[in-house]
Amino acid sequence: MSAPQLFRQTMSFACCALVAFCLSMGVAHSQDPNKDAVEDANATLQAVGGLGVGHIQSSLGLIGVTADAFAKDVYTAKQVEDLMNGTINGIEAVKKLLRRLQETDLSDDDEEYIDRMINVYNALQKEAKALIAFAKSKKPADAELFDAARKAAVTKLGQLTEDKNSGDTPQ
């Protein structure tokens, strides 16, 4: 099985697991007289969080599969650069949408969670940029920088999914 096929199969499983997780999450109830509207807003935010984590995991996987493919001479440095620039730009678009969401009437906890999501996205962008630099130079020092960026992104994702505050401020 090729790396792209394995990636698609893994992502299909991950997406199914994410949907099951989102559907199994309880909706917080409010004593607000407009209970249905509050429940709808909570469900929407839960969906944004669940889909965001899924997108983060997929982006992390794409960067990893791209690095593996480059290491096996499947992709050229130019192909890596093109794929990673697309990833970086896609992440930037999502970050802008999350910032727009923060301009709405969110709770402090929801604001903080979105900040943490943006921090993970920042780490993914740094990882993708480090992969581009390594693909262009093939220098061991750049490989080490990529590895450090990868580990940082994985750590931030772990902190996000463990529901702990990473203490960083989004850019």
Predicted confidence pLDDT, tens digits, the chain (171 residues):
444 444 444 444 444 344 334 434 433 334 455 666 567 678 888 999 999 999 999 999 999 999 999 999 999 999 999 999 999 999 999 999 999 999 998 999 999 999 999 999 999 999 999 999 999 999 999 999 999 999 999 999 999 998 544 444 455
Q: Is the distance from CB of 70 to CB of 30 less than 8 angstroms?
A: no
pTM: 0.74
CA–CA gap between residue 154 and residue 15 (Å, rounded): 18
Helix axes 108-137 and 35-71, enclosed angle (nearest 10): 10
**Per-residue pLDDT at 13:** 42
Token representation of residue 19: 């949907």
Buried b (16+ CB within 10 A) or exposed e, 55-74: bbbbbbebbbbbbebbeeee
- Look-up: residue for tokens 């791209």? 66
**Per-residue pLDDT at 61:** 97
